A and B are shown apart, each in its own frame.
Chain A
C-alpha cells in the first residue's frame, strides 16, 4: 500500500457531473484509504471549449455556470481543489498566441510546440466541436476555433506542469483523455511518467469504462480484456445475458446513451420499403459519423468510408446483388448537433450516379440497421458497433482493421482495390451461406467481455437517465473497503496496481463448453428461423402490397434551356411523368394555373411537382406513397418534407423544414430559401393526394385580396392534414439564391 499517495483528479469541466462524480467518489474513497486526492478545476480560462459548443451568445454565462457547478460539486465532497487559473502566468496566453500565429492554419492538426504534439491533442475536440472530419478543418470558422484550442492546450500544459511541480502527484485520474484539456493532462502524465486512470461512460447502462494509461477511444483495453476472457466458455446465464444485451440494443435500450432514433422499422417491411426484390442478395454497408473516426488516431485507416463506398458502388455496377448503404442518422444532425454537411454532400453525389442495384438509405430515411440485419446477406460496418451486431445475427461482416471488434469479424478491409473488394464481397456472401452455430462462439465471448468484464458498475454511484449523476452512498462509511467492490477495484488499482479488469480464475478457464455450445446452437437455430420467417412474411407483405401510380409533374420553363436528364431517381416503380411548361415570364398565378392545367386528367392518386434543380431522395416517392397508402381513413392530404440546400457546385450549407430548421413561419422559410417567394417552389416539398393538390392550388388562386399566393400556399401546406415530417428528403440546388429552375 502506498500510504499518503497523492492523486490528481483533473476535472476542469465542472458541468460534466456524470463523469466527475467518478472523480469525486473515487477521490473520497481513496482519501478514506489514506491517499491525498486533490482536484484541478477551471474557473473560466478558455475562450472556446467543449462545454461551450452550443452556447453561442450565452458562452460567458455558460462558462461561469460550469465553473460554479464544479466548485460546488467537489466542495460538497469536501475535497481539496486547485484552480487552473492560479497556475497560469501572465505571459502564458500571449506567448501561446505568438506560437499559434507562427503555425500555418493548414498545419494546425499537426502543430507542435517543441516536443509537445499540441495539434494532435487539441484537434479531436475541434472535430467533435463542429461535427466535422478532416475536410472541415479548412473552414475559416473552424480554423479560428482550432487556433484557440491550440492556445488553450499549450496554456493548460504549462499550468499543469506547475501544479505537478507543486503537489507531486503519484497518479492522475482523467476523464476520457480525448477532449482537449483532458487529453493534455493525459499526455502530460504520460510524458511525466505518472500513471493515469482514464474513465468514460461504459458500454452498458449505468456503467463506466476505466482504463489504465489509455485514451478512452483506444481499442487496446477492449482487446486485452477480450483476449483475457477468450478462452473462457460462457455459462448459460452469461450467454443469455449477452443475447439479452443484443436484444435490448435492438430496441435502443441498455447502451448507456439515448438511442439515436426512436422509430421502429417493421422487419417484414424492409425489402418492400427498399423496393428490393425478395429473392435478391443484399450487401449492407453501415456508415458511421466521420467525425467520430477523425477524432482518434486509433480509428485512422488507409481509406475513408466514402472512398470504399465509391469503389463498392463502382463494383456493384457489375454485380447482380444489391448494395444497400445505410448512412447513420446522426450524420443528418440530431437535437442541437449540426449535420455533417460535407458528408451529406458527398453522399448525394454518390446517390446521383449510383446504379439501380445500389440503394442509398440517407440519414433521414427511417430505416433501422437492426431491421436491415434480418433482411441482408452480408455486411460491412467500417467502425460501427453494428458490425458485431450483424455478426451476432449470423451475417458475415467485415470492418476496418481498427474497429473495436475487428478480431471477431469475418474479414477486415485492408485492401480497398476493386479486385480485393470484389473478392471480399463474394466471400462475405459465401460465409453467411455457410455460417454455423460455432461461428457465434467468438462473437459471444467477445461481446460478453465487452458488456460484463470491461465496464464497471458501482454500488455507490451511477448514471440516471443517461445524463444525470446518481450518488447512492449515504455517508462515507459506504465507501470503506468492502462496501463497493468495484470501487475497491479502482482504489486497489491506483494504490497497488491491481488489475482494472477481472482476470479469469482457473475454475473459469477449466469450464466445460457444452452449456455454451447448446445455447449457441439454439440461438443460431432461432436466428435462422427468425430470418426465414422475416423473409417469408416480408415476401407475403410485398406480395399483398399495391403500388399506386404517382404522377410527377415536371416544371420546365419554356424559355429556359432544358436541363440534362432527370434528377428523379425513384425507387417507386409506378411513376407517370408529365411536363408542365409555363413561360418564364408567367407570373405566380399563371404558373399555378399551368400546374392546375397539367393536373387535368391525372388519374394517379398521388402527385409530385418537381424541377430539374431538385434531387429527391430515391426513397421519397416510395416512403411517402407507402404512408399515404396506409392512411385508409384519408386523414392526410399530403406529406410535407424538409430539404437540404446547396449552392450550385457547392456543399450543402442549409436545411429547411427540418427538425433543426422547422421554418414554421413564412418569413423564416423565406430567409432560408428565398426561392419560395414563388409559390410553385413550395410544391416539391410535398407528395400530394391529387385532389389535395388541386384544392391547394385553387385556394392559392382564389384570393383576390392581393395576398401573395405563396403565403396562402405556405399556410395551406402547414395545415395539420399535411403531415410535416421534418425529415430532409430532397436536395435543392439553390441556383441563384432566389429562384428555383
Chain B
C-alpha cells in the first residue's frame, strides 16, 4: 500500500501488537510511528511504554520506510497526538492515522486509499473515517455517506485539511458568536452537547486533541466521510485506556467492507443520520464524556439534575441499555415529577421497563415520549417492536362501531380494550337513553378515551351534551403513602408524579381526527383546584369516568362531582383494582355517605356502577 500510515502508541503493548499486526497485513510503504513517553512517577509506565515500542520495533518485516517520533517524556494526549499528526503531515501529503486501540479490517486501508485519491482535490472533504455507528442501517446510495462527525477511531486525511487544525481553537469564539453550531445541528441537544464540550476544550479543561479536529471541520464547512460498514473496532475499552476506561459498549464489531466501493451520487452531510448518531449515544459514548458521566452518576451527584443535560441523558441511556439501573430509573422518575417534558426521559424509562420485562409499562412510556417528541425515531422504533403483536380484533367485543373506533383511539390511551369498550358502551347507552347530563372524564392523559366518549356523544346523543375533559396535562400529581400497588409505593413502580402526562394538544389532536373536537371542553389543572371551580359549569353528569389514580385525586372527584351524577347515571373507576389509594378513597366516601353500590368488575382494575 502506498498510502503512509501514522501509528500512535503509548503504553498498551498487547493492543499495539494486535493493531500493528493489522498494519503489517496492509504493508504500507511508509510507516510513521509516534509514541508518547512515560509519565514520571507513574509506576510501571516506563515498562509498559517500552513493551509497547518493542511490539513494533523489530517486527517491521516488509520493505518499508520507517520514521519515528519517540518521546522520552510524556506530553499528554492533547499535545502528543496533535504534534504527532503535525509531524506526520510535515512529511506526507495525505495518510492514514491509527491509534493503538483502533483495530482496522484490512479493507479499511483500501477504503482510505481510494477515497484519499478520489477527494484529494475536494477541499470540503476533510476527513475519512473507518467508523460506523448506524447499527446496521445503510445510509445513502453508496458505500459511504457524508457527515459532520469526524470519528477518529481509524481515519485518514490530507495535509490540506490538517492545516486547518488549531489545537488552541482560536476562532471558536467567533464560530460560537456567528451561530456555527446552529448551522450544523438541528436539535438543541446536539448543540448543547457540543457547545459544552467545545467550550471546555477551548478553555483547556479537557486534555484532548480530537474535539479540536472536529471543530476544524465545522469551522471550515468540512465533510467527513463515514463508511456504511464498520471498518475499525476500538479494542481499547478497559482499564488501560486514557479516555475509554469503561467496558466497550460503543465500538461496533468489525465488519469488512463488502463488495466494490460504490461512491454515493451526492456527498453531503446527512443531518438526519448525524442526529441519529448523536441520539444513539455514539458521540457522547465516544471516549470523551463517558467516563466522567459514569462517575458523576455513580457519585450520586444529584442525578436528576444531571439527567436534565443531554450528556446526562446519554449516560443514562448507556446504563439502562446495559441493565435495569434502578438508581437511574429513580432519577428519571424524579425528572418526570418536575412536570416538564424532557426528551428521552420516557424513552429511557421504557428501556428500564423493557429490561424488567414490564412491556406494557414500556409501551406506555414510549407513547408518552412520543406525545411530546413525536420525532423520536428510536422511541417509535421500539414502540413498533413492542407492539408487533397487537391485541387481535377477535378479542374485541363484537360491536362494529367500537371496532371501528378502537384502532383510532388506542394509540392515545393507556386503557385496556375492555375498559374502553365498557366506557363506550356506558356513554352510548346514556346518550341513547337520553339521560340528563354531560359526560365527565377526570384523567385524560393523551385523550384517547375522551375522544371515544366524545364520539359517543356526537353520534348518539339526543340532546346537547358535552364532554368535560379534566387533567393537569402535565402528568399526575405526587402520590401519597396510600397510593401503592401490591405493597410497592407508586413512585417505586415508576408511575409516580409527572407520569401519564400528555399535552392538551394530544387530546385535541385525537378528537380532531375523529371530528369530535367541538364536543370536548378541556379543564386543565389538578382536580383539587379545578373541580370546585368548574363543578357548577359542568352541571349534571350522565357518565363519570374516574381515572385519577391516587387517593387524593379520587377523593377530590367524588367529593366534587358524585352528587352531580344523575340517578341512573354511571360511574366507571379505572384504578379501583390497581391502586390501593383509589380503592380506599371510594370506600371512605361510600362509608361516609352510607352508600352501597353494585360494583361491577371490568378487568383486573376497572369497575363501574350505576348510581
Our verdict on whether A and B bind, yes or no, reads yes
Interface residues of A (CB under 8 A from B): 268, 537, 540-541, 543-549, 603-605, 628-632, 634, 689, 691
Residue of B nearest to A634 (CB): B44
Q: Which residue of B lies closest to A633 (CB)?
A: B47
Contact of A546 among B37, B56, B58 (CB under 8 A): B37
In the complex, chain B residues 77-91 whose Cβ is within 8 Å of any chain A Cβ: none
Q: Ordered nearest first, which 5 A-B pairs have the shortest CB separation? A: A632-B51, A544-B57, A603-B41, A548-B46, A603-B40
Closest chain B residue to A631 by CB distance? Answer: B47
| Contacting pair B46 A629 (CB below 8 A) | yes
User: In the complex, are the beta carbons of A547 and B72 less than 8 A apart?
Assistant: yes
| Chain A residues within an 8 Å CB radius of B56 | 544
Q: In the bound complex, what is the Cα–Cα distance between A543 and B66 (angstroms)?
A: 12
Please tell me if the beta carbons of B47 and A541 are within 8 angstroms of each other in the complex. Answer: no
B70 and A629 form a contact (CB under 8 A):
no
Identity of the chain A residue whose Cβ is nearest the Cβ of B70 in the assembled complex: A544
- A530 CB, nearest partner CB in chain B, Å: 16
Pick from A546, A630, A689: contact of B49, CB below 8 A: A546
Specify the chain A residue showing the minimal Cβ separation from B43. Answer: A691
Q: How far is the CB of A490 from chain B (nearest CB, A)?
A: 52
Residue B358 CB within 8 A of the other chain: no
The interface centre, meaning the residue of A546, A548, A603, A605 with most chain B CB atoms within 10 A of its CB, is: A546
Q: Is the CB of A540 within 8 A of B58?
A: yes
Task: Identify which of residues 35-86 in chain B touch chain A, using a CB-to-CB cut-off of 8 Å.
Answer: 37-38, 40-41, 43-51, 53-54, 56-58, 66, 68, 70, 72
CA distance A544 to B70 in the complex (A): 7
Inter-chain contacts of B70 with A (CB < 8 A): 543-544
Name the distance in Å between B113's Cβ and chain A's nearest Cβ.
27
> Closest Cβ of chain A: how far from B59's Cβ, in Å?
11
B50 A629 Cβ-Cβ under 8 A:
yes
Of the residues A544, A604, A634, contact of B47 by C-beta under 8 Å: A634
Q: Please give, as numbers and ranges, the residues of chain B lying within 8 Å of A631 by CB-CB distance.
A: 47
**A-facing residues in B399-438 (Cβ within 8 Å):** none
Query: How many Å from the CB of B12 to the closest CB on chain A?
Result: 11
Given the known A-B contacts A546-B72, A549-B40, are A540 and B50 also in contact in the complex, defined by CB atoms under 8 Å?
no
| Chain B contacts for A537, CB-based, 8 A | 58
> Known contacts being A537-B58, A541-B57, A632-B13, is A546 close to B40, with CB within 8 Å?
no
Measured between beta carbons, the chain B residues less than 8 angstroms from A548 are 38, 46
A540 touches B46 (CB 8 A): no
Q: Which residue of B lies closest to A602 (CB)?
A: B41
- Nearest to B47 among chain A residues (CB) is A632
A629 CA to B38 CA, complexed, in Å: 12
Contact B46 A541 (CB under 8 A): no
The minimal Cβ–Cβ distance linking A96 to chain B, given in whole angstroms, is: 66
Bound: A632/B41 CA distance, A: 16
Residue contacts A-B, CB under 8 angstroms, 17 given: A537-B58, A540-B57, A540-B58, A540-B66, A543-B68, A546-B46, A546-B53, A546-B72, A547-B72, A549-B40, A605-B43, A628-B47, A629-B47, A630-B51, A632-B47, A632-B50, A691-B43
Contacts of A545 in B (CB 8 A): 50, 53
B48 and A632 form a contact (CB under 8 A): yes
Are B68 and A604 neighbours in the complex by a CB distance under 8 Å?
Answer: no
Complex: A546 Cα to B49 Cα, angstroms? 8
Residues of A within 8 A of B51 (CB): 630, 632
Taken together as a complex, chains A and B put the C-alpha atoms of A544 and B44 apart, in Å, by: 18
Residues B53 and A544 in contact, CB atoms below 8 Å apart: yes
| A268 CB contacts on chain B under 8 angstroms | 58
The answer for the CA separation of A540 and B41 in the assembled complex, in Å, is 27
Report the Cα distance A627→B68, complex, angstroms. Answer: 24
List residues of chain B with CB within 8 A of the CB of A543: 57, 68, 70
Residues of B within 8 A of A (CB): 13, 37-38, 40-41, 43-51, 53-54, 56-58, 66, 68, 70, 72
Contact B54 A544 (CB under 8 A): yes
Residues of B within 8 A of A628 (CB): 47
How far apart are A713's CB and chain B's nearest CB, in angstroms? 21
- Closest residue of B by beta carbon distance from A636: B47
Which of chain A's residues has its CB closest to B14's CB?
Answer: A632
Contact B68 A544 (CB under 8 A): yes
Whether A541 and B38, one on each chain, are in contact in the complex, defined by CB atoms closer than 8 angstroms, is no
Q: How far is the CA of A628 from the CA of B51 in the complex (A)?
A: 11
Contacts of A634 in B (CB 8 A): 43-44, 47
Q: What 9 new A-B contacts, CB under 8 Å, besides A548-B38, A605-B45?
A: A268-B58, A543-B68, A544-B70, A549-B40, A605-B43, A605-B46, A630-B47, A632-B50, A634-B43
A631 to B72, CA, bound (A): 18
Query: How many angstroms from the CA of A332 to the CA of B48 in the assembled complex?
Result: 35
Cα A547 to Cα B549 with chains together (Å): 72
A268–B54 alpha-carbon span in the complex (Å):
13
Q: Which residues of B lie under 8 Å from residue A603 when comparing CB positions?
A: 40-41
Complex alpha-carbon distance, A585 and B50, angstroms: 43
Given A540-B58, A630-B50, A546–B68 Cβ distance below 8 Å?
no
Provide the residues of chain A in CB contact with B41, threshold 8 Å.
603
Are B43 and A546 touching (Cβ within 8 A)? no
Q: Residue among A543, A630, A632 with the most chain B CB within 10 A?
A: A632
Taking the closest CB of chain A, its distance from the CB of B13, in whole angstroms, is 6
Residue among A537, A540, A605, A628 with max Cβ neighbours from chain B (10 Å): A605
Chain A hits for B57, CB < 8 A: 540-541, 543-544
The distance from the CB of A161 to the nearest CB of chain B, in whole angstroms, is 68
Tell me which residues across on chain B come within 8 A of A549, comparing CB atoms: 40
When chains A and B are docked, how far (Å) is the Cα of A178 from the Cα of B70? 59
Smallest Cβ-Cβ distance to B48: which chain A residue = A632
Residues of A contacting B43 with CB < 8 Å? 605, 634, 689, 691
A residues less than 8 Å from B37 (CB atoms): 546
Which residues from B are CB-within-8-Å of A541? 57-58
Q: How far is the CB of B64 from chain A (nearest CB, A)?
A: 12
Name the B residues within 8 Å of A691 (CB-CB): 43
Report which residue of A544, A603, A628, A629 has the largest number of chain B beta carbons within 10 angstroms of its beta carbon.
A544
B46 neighbours in A (Cβ, 8 Å)? 546, 548, 605, 629
B53 to chain A: closest residue by CB: A544
A547 to chain B: which residues have CB within 8 Å?
72
Question: Which of B13, B50, B72 is packed against the most chain A CB atoms within 10 Å?
Answer: B50
B10 to chain A, nearest CB (A): 12
Contacting residues, chain A, for B50 (C-beta < 8 A): 545-546, 629-630, 632
Interchain nearest-CB distance for A629 vs B (Å): 5
User: Closest CB-CB distance, A550 to chain B, in whole Å?
Assistant: 11
For residue B30, give the distance in angstroms from its CB to the closest CB of chain A. 16
| Bound CA–CA A548/B38 (angstroms) | 9
C-alpha spacing A604/B46, complex, angstroms: 10
Q: Chain A nearest CB: distance from B384 CB in Å?
A: 51
Q: In the complex, A631 Cα to B13 Cα: how many Å?
A: 12
Contact A546 B54 (CB under 8 A): no
Q: How far is the CA of A387 from the CA of B43 in the complex (A)?
A: 45
Q: Which residue of B lies closest to A546 (CB)?
A: B50
Distance, CA A379 to CA B584, complexed state (A)? 105
A549 to B39, alpha carbons, bound, how many Å? 12
- Bound-state Cα–Cα, A687 to B70, Å: 26
A691 to B40, CA, bound (A): 13
What distance in Å separates the Cβ of B39 from its nearest Cβ neighbour in chain A? 9
A691 CA / B44 CA spacing, docked (Å): 10
Decide: A604 and B40 in contact? CB cutoff 8 A: yes
CB A605 to nearest CB in B, in angstroms, measures: 5
CB distance from B65 to the nearest CB of A (A): 13
- Please give, as numbers and ranges, the residues of chain B lying within 8 Å of A604 by CB-CB distance: 40
Distance in Å: Cβ of A477 to nearest Cβ of chain B? 59
Docked Cα-Cα span, A634 to B47, in Å, equals 8
The interface residues of chain B lying within 8 Å CB-to-CB of A629 are 46-47, 50
Complex interface: chain A residues within 8 A of B68 (CB): 543-544
Give the complex CA separation of A605 and B42 in angstroms. Answer: 8
Measured CB to CB, the closest approach of chain B to A42, in angstroms, equals 58
A738 to chain B, nearest CB (A): 37
Residue in chain B with minimal CB distance to A628: B47
Contacts of B53 in A (CB 8 A): 544-546
The smallest beta-carbon distance between A268 and chain B, in angstroms, is 8
Complex Cα–Cα for A547 and B72 (A): 8
A residues near B48, Cβ cutoff 8 Å: 632
